[in-house]
A = this chain, B = another copy of it.
């Protein structure tokens, strides 16, 4: 068992390293040359070194600055996603600070009374309990004072003690979670209501448009929505196959070049029309009119049915119409005409739009099985690589290297470093692997992909970091031993092991939490990368802008890590509350650091309006249920097994609380109330009656490949509708009206 001395040493090392990071940051951030690294969101000055030495003295001055910005301004500045994200840290403080205060307050009487653990113990503890009791604590002599009534109570008041504590803590957590969910649902609704006009408010993503023998997909879409949403349908935009698309654009450019070439040729010697041959490279085959031939060919490419997917973004005249279409079933076959609210244009993950619906269920089955194996058996390939990376393994594969291997430095390097590196690389790659798995599952927006990856990562951390640290051995061995055990023994096994691991987790919190967060603010990797690029590659201001990647919050990997601290806090709050101050410091420090980062650095790719909160909420409740079951296991192993049935009430209450919150708040994150849509529609009609929505939406959901390309989109057919502001394309003879007009002006 680690003594207090060990813990103090670890704490000192980590506090020192965090301090070093902070001082370095204080110095570096004041250098204007680093502004692009530390303040990419703000405008820049041109000095290179800061010589105002006074400013160095206030080296923690960024902290109050980071906290000062009011929340509403923060939402304006960084978006709701980021503002809500840092509220997760705040939520941690709200839950655990009262826990900690409660624990410390109860401590004082025991301390002041001068009664040592031994006195107390002799009163109620049997010999077995004595042993266990000693193990529960970090170190009997050193941490006597920290021994809590929360642990003593189960023995003095065997039934009500842990139950009362569990109930208190659970109810406090319920209260805080409920309030937070309410606030964030309100923030989301206010944010959505106050947002300016956005294309996704009017647009629905339609998938699995069934093929029709008589009509093209474009016509079929048009007819279907004109019939079934007659008063609301405005326009649509079919989706092109991303894989096919690049080839298409290439081909089109080449043909365009040929067309241009022949047009010029024709205009030069206008008497004779140019001709070409249809065969290979224009050298053989039938001789045809070149101009006509290439014009036809170009048209054929644009209308190539292979390039058009049975997927479209359908836009409506009103938000009401879009809300209705997104929430209803269109066809009696529920696998056709699937509608869902379109993601923001920059949130769309284009490659997945082309996946047919039937394939999705199979993909998800395969990925679920793969996730199970990844979580429980990931050690098998790594152990294999490790065995290859050992001295013997290398010598067997490349025997001629063996003389070099005998050198002591290299030998110790291989023995000490190589085996670990496979695991390390795997852990670094893990978020990417999980993201790839989510992509295979076929979700169509980046925000959903991140949320699904986060769920997978959470499972991995829960099984391999939490359970893996408590029950040593690989996850598979654990799984095997757990299955072989009695159902009621599992929580006991884990529950008993938990107090023993408190020191390990304290060290973990300090290394991963404290120093990790301090390293985050220093941004070592972007700092080095930027200066390297700046020195060697950058030529223009444009280049310099691109040399700096401001980064983003990376929800998929960072949220599960926070969840791990919630899990630790909830599990240990009743068992070993000495862990709480460490967690509280982590949450406080991380809150300030990440608030600073989202104000000054990060740039979010999309804005989902805090759509991830139900996930965050749910995972905290999972952690609660785990902590409650482990508490039951722990209590059963003690004399206090009478209280176990009472403790059963806690998980039931938690599940019920989950259902309550789900029905009460989750719809705000997944549904689109008609009342709000109608209010905004009415307001907009009143304030901006002449707005041309169709023109506004025309290019909103165009594939990024087309963005800088002037390829002609197949025109929607309802162009006949009178549109008072722009001349329709048909009347302007297929050319943009602006330039033509100017041409006439100059000509006349």
* Chain A residues engaging chain B, CB cutoff 8 angstroms: 189, 224, 227-229, 231, 320, 323-324, 327-332, 334-335, 337, 361, 365, 369, 482-490, 652, 656, 659-660, 663-668, 671-676, 678
Contact = CB atoms under 8 A, between A and B. Distances in A.
B673 A332 contact: yes
A244 to B, nearest CB: 28
A368 to B, nearest CB: 8
24 contacts: A224-B675, A228-B320, A228-B675, A228-B678, A231-B231, A324-B324, A327-B329, A329-B673, A329-B674, A330-B674, A331-B673, A332-B668, A332-B673, A332-B676, A334-B665, A334-B668, A361-B659, A361-B663, A365-B652, A365-B656, A482-B487, A486-B486, A486-B489, A487-B490
Given A334-B671, A361-B656, A486-B489, 13 more contacts: A227-B678, A228-B674, A228-B678, A328-B673, A329-B672, A332-B676, A334-B663, A334-B668, A335-B663, A335-B664, A365-B652, A365-B659, A486-B486
A428 to B, nearest CB: 31
Contacts of A487: 482-487, 490
A189 B488 CA distance: 48
B328 A324 contact: yes
B486 A673 contact: no
A482 B365 CA distance: 31
- Residue among A332, A369, A672, A678 with most chain B CB within 10 A: A332
Given A487-B485, A488-B483, A652-B369, A331 B675 contact: yes
Given A486-B487, A488-B484, A652-B369, A330 B675 contact: yes
Given A361-B663, A663-B334, A663-B335, A671 B329 contact: yes
Nearest to A360: B663
Contacts of A485: 486-487
Contact of A664 (B334, B365, B676): B334
A365 to B, nearest CB: 5
A189 B486 CA distance: 49
Contacts of A489: 486
A665 B320 CA distance: 28
Nearest to A339: B674
A674 B328 contact: yes
Nearest to A660: B361
Contacts of A330: 673-675
A509 B516 CA distance: 67
Contacts of A678: 227-228
Contacts of A672: 328-329
A656 B534 CA distance: 53
A647 B684 CA distance: 61
A675 B332 contact: yes
A652 B666 CA distance: 29
A673 B333 CA distance: 8
Nearest to A676: B332
A6 to B, nearest CB: 37
A115 B416 CA distance: 66
Contacts of A660: 361
Given A487-B482, A487-B490, A652-B369, A329 B667 contact: yes
Nearest to A361: B660
Contacts of A320: 228
Contacts of A323: 328
A224 B667 CA distance: 20
- Residue among A330, A482, A486 with most chain B CB within 10 A: A486
Contacts of A659: 361, 365
A189 B673 contact: no
Contacts of A231: 231
A206 to B, nearest CB: 13
Contacts of A332: 189, 668, 673, 675-676
Contacts of A673: 328-332
A336 to B, nearest CB: 9
A320 B229 CA distance: 9
Nearest to A229: B674
Nearest to A321: B324
A178 to B, nearest CB: 13
A228 B485 CA distance: 58
Contacts of A490: 487
A119 to B, nearest CB: 37
Nearest to A482: B487
A487 B665 CA distance: 36
A369 B678 CA distance: 42
A675 to B, nearest CB: 5
Nearest to A334: B667
A332 to B, nearest CB: 5
A488 B672 CA distance: 46
Nearest to A327: B328
A521 B673 CA distance: 52
Nearest to A372: B652
Nearest to A486: B486
A675 B209 CA distance: 14
A335 B490 CA distance: 39
Contacts of A652: 365, 369
Contacts of A228: 320, 674-675, 678
A327 B664 CA distance: 17
A331 B674 CA distance: 7
Nearest to A678: B228
A330 B218 CA distance: 32
Nearest to A332: B673
A678 to B, nearest CB: 5
A176 B276 CA distance: 61
